Structure 1
Amino acid sequence: MPVIDLQDLAAHTPPNTPWFGLDLGETTIGVAASDATRMIASPLQTIRKTKFTPDAERLFAMMDERRASALVIGLPVNMDGSEGPRAQSARAFARNLERLRPVICAFWDERLSTAGVERFLIEELDLTRKRRAGVVDRTAAAWILQGALDRLRG
């Protein structure tokens, strides 16, 4: 199935199945999961990028384990709303996943998600730089997924 509009995601997925959120970085993929009711997103794991196929297989295994029915992928658009190389890379990631296995995907504007997460981890949790490095990607994925879930609830 091709990438679909976020508003149509629920109609294309079975009820009571979680969704995954992804924050695609240059060297890592932050992964988050929602609960089955799609109310709360939680950080799950960070995948260190190696090669695309093994990374995708690891992601698919995590989805299968949790019976996740869709992916919400952070789309890093520019502040003016245009799409640059990072957004094109996110779109290519979704296309390449589809070549390996049918997967339902939607994009969510992730502008400033990592910056917001960094600020939260510093100001609210007072985490050191070293501790932040271990959690920022999966927390950004949860931020992305939670934003999409909140948007769908109105």
Structure 2
Amino acid sequence: MIISNLQEFHQLLQSSKPILAVDYGQKKLGLAISDPNYTISMPLKTLNCINDSEKIKIILSFIDEYSACALVIGLPIMMDGAVSNQALLVQNFTNCLSTKTDLPIYMQDERLTSRAANNLLKYLGLKRNKRNQQDDCIAAGMILETVLSSIKFLN
């Protein structure tokens, strides 16, 4: 189920179970996970994927592997607040994913996270090829960190 209110999403979280975050791209999928206490996010993997059904299978397998209790999906809103074509793709993907799991799904504005992830990896000295292999999971971690920071204020 897709939850649009962060407070409602927070109430649906199960104690001692992590949140899985997804940075959706047409060619790549970035994944990150929280700790069970919702204090930190950790990048997991950036995966090259062929199609949305493969992406959904991968996400469902990570939900099982990590016993995740919820999902956060990055929503790429444009800087002026408009909904981009990519945001529409993410919304459609999230709708499809929500039919395959009963977990609560929260869509987090992800403006500039991909750029910030790339800049961080560049600052750390990674070459373009290495940055491209890791930028999406770092972005997923940043998206999740935004949610974790926000829910700290709800406690």
- TM-score, L = length of structure 1: 0.93
Supply the AA of the counterpart residue of 2:128.
R
Task: Report the count of equivalent residues.
Answer: 153
Runs of 4+ residues deviating >6 angstroms? none
Structure 2 distance, partners of 1:105, 1:32, is 14
Match of 2:129 in 1: 130
Supply the AA of the counterpart residue of 1:54.
E
Match of 2:20 in 1: 20
**Which secondary structure does the structure 2 equivalent of 1:100 belong to?**
coil
Aligned pairs (5 A) from 1:36-55 = 36-55=36-55
Matched, 1:114 2:114: yes
Structure 2 distance, partners of 1:139, 1:53, is 23
- Aligned-pair identity in percent equals 29
Match of 1:59 in 2: 59
Structure 1 distance, partners of 2:9, 2:119, is 30
Structure 1 distance, partners of 2:101, 2:35, is 23
- Following TM superposition, by how much is the alpha carbon of 1:2 offset from its aligned partner in structure 2, in angstroms? 3.1
Match of 2:82 in 1: 82
**Relative to structure 2, which stretch is displaced further, 94-103 or 137-146?**
94-103
- Following TM superposition, by how much is the alpha carbon of 1:26 offset from its aligned partner in structure 2, in angstroms? 1.9
Instruction: Mark the runs of 5 or more structure 1 residues left unpaired by the alignment.
Output: none
Structure 2 distance, partners of 1:131, 1:2, is 33
Structure 1 distance, partners of 2:47, 2:85, is 21
- Following TM superposition, by how much is the alpha carbon of 1:37 offset from its aligned partner in structure 2, in angstroms? 0.5
Instruction: Mark the runs of 5 or more structure 2 residues left unpaired by the alignment.
Output: none
**Which secondary structure does the structure 2 equivalent of 1:21 belong to?**
strand
Determine if contact 2:98/2:105 at 8 Å carries over to the other structure: no
**Which secondary structure does the structure 2 equivalent of 1:30 belong to?**
strand
Supply the AA of the counterpart residue of 1:33.
I
Match of 2:140 in 1: 141
**Which secondary structure does the structure 2 equivalent of 1:43 belong to?**
strand
Write the deviation string for residues 57-114 of structure 1: whole angstroms up to 9, x where unpaired. 1211111111001111111001111112111111111110122232310011100001
- Following TM superposition, by how much is the alpha carbon of 1:116 offset from its aligned partner in structure 2, in angstroms? 0.8
Structure 1 distance, partners of 2:147, 2:49, is 24
Measured on the aligned residues, the alpha-carbon RMSD in Å equals: 1.3
Structure 2 distance, partners of 1:27, 1:52, is 9
- TM-score, L = length of structure 2: 0.92
Structure 1 distance, partners of 2:127, 2:150, is 31
